[in-house]
């Protein structure tokens, strides 16, 4: 069980109480700190709630900050017998959110957390008060970086990501502009020490739907087509402009979808923008929530 994972080496930078919901019979870990209006932060691949640790600490004095780990990630269980498709992740997140019975939610999404959390939002728009979008996509795209294309290659991609653990190892340097401290690197890698613990990482990359015949393509289109429901919802878009994966072209697409959005462009931040520019992001979020 992942719930037995010893996180004492990172407890000084990730000091939160571990909480668990039962989702499909598995332990679904989440952080739940503070009180007030709920801000739910949803991670992507290959991260976990650790990505948001400083936001949780900073915003927990004024808000109820919730940050779950998808099944297969972080301190959640990593079952081998579930499909790890976009629709499955949306279903799991939906079950989790309904179990907490949150209202007037501010959703903060990153990477795969975008289509997952926005998939929930499209199903339950009445529960969503604000959207904070960061370096993600929730719409069909023909753009894919060569690194991801290589990882989607049958057999070779699985060997690189799961057997050799290169997806995480490379992410520690290629997703940031500022070098990560050693204890932060440990925090990102700790839950993924064994091949069995990295299966969901490989499955996420395989699940990137580039063609209509892909099993998750229609699900992604459903999320994309539902975004219109939030045309009057307060939206902010915070973007690491040096992201090689979700390039500024994706930011422009979000601006087309939500022309009323508040925009924060972080010129010196990469894909893991929370590591590069936390000092700019935290006050921007606080002001956005308080003023909308």
* Sheet with strand 19-23: strands edge to edge: 19-23, 26-33, 64-68, 38-42, 105-110, 128-134, 235-240, 262-266
Dump pLDDT digits (tens) for 142-184: 889 888 999 999 889 999 999 999 999 999 999 999 999 999 9
Residue 150's domain spans which residues? Answer: 2-291
pLDDT reading at 92 higher than 70: yes
Q: What is the pTM of this model?
A: 0.97
Q: What is the pLDDT of residue 228?
A: 97
Q: What is the pLDDT of residue 1?
A: 46
Cα separation, 82 vs 75, whole angstroms? 17
Number of domains, the chain: 1
Dump pLDDT digits (tens) for 254-281: 999 999 999 999 999 999 999 999 999 9
Closest CA to 110 of 248, 238, 281, 203: 238
The sign of the torsion formed by the CA atoms of 123, 237, 15, 73 equals: positive
Q: What is the CATH number of the domain that holds 16?
A: 3.40.50.1820
DSSP line for 31-97: EEES-SSEEEEE--TT--GGGGHHHHHHHTTTSEEEEE--TTSTTS---SSS---HHHHHHHHHHHH
pLDDT band at 61 (very low <50, low <70, confident <90, very high): very high
pLDDT band at 3 (very low <50, low <70, confident <90, very high): low
Report the share of the chain in percent with pLDDT over 70. Answer: 99
Dump pLDDT digits (tens) for 21-37: 999 999 999 999 999 99
- SS3 at position 262: strand
If you average pLDDT over every residue of the chain, what do you get?
A: 96
Cα separation, 86 vs 216, whole angstroms? 6
């Amino acid at each position: 069980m992942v719930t037995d994972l010893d996180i004492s080496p990172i407890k000084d930078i990730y000091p939160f109480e571990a909480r668990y919901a039962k989702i499909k019979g598995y332990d679904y870990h989440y952080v739940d700190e503070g009180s007030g209006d709920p801000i739910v932060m949803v991670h992507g691949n290959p991260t976990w709630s650790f990505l948001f640790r400083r936001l949780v600490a900073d915003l927990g004095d004024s808000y109820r900050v919730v940050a779950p780990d998808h099944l297969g990630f972080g301190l959640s269980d990593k079952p081998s017998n579930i499909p790890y498709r976009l629709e499955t992740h949306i279903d799991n997140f939906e079950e989790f959110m309904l179990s907490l019975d949150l209202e007037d939610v501010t959703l903060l999404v990153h990477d795969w957390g975008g289509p997952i959390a926005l998939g929930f939002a499209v199903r339950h728009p009445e529960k969503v008060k604000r959207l904070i979008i960061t370096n993600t996509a929730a719409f069909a795209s023909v753009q894919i970086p060569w690194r991801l294309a290589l990882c989607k290659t049958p057999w070779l991609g699985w060997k690189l990501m799961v057997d050799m653990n290169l997806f995480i190892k490379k992410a520690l340097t290629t997703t940031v502009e500022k070098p990560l401290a050693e204890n932060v690197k440990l925090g990102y890698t700790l839950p993924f020490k064994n091949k069995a613990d990295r299966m969901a990482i490989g499955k996420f990359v395989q699940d990137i739907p580039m063609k209509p015949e892909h099993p998750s393509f229609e699900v992604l289109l459903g999320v994309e087509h539902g975004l219109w429901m939030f045309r009057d919802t307060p939206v902010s878009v915070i973007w690491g402009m040096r992201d090689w994966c979700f390039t500024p072209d994706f930011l422009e697409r979000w601006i087309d979808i939500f022309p009323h959005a508040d925009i924060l462009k972080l010129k010196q931040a990469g894909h893991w923008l929370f590591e590069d520019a936390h000092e700019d992001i935290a006050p921007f979020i606080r002001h956005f929530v308080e003023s909308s």
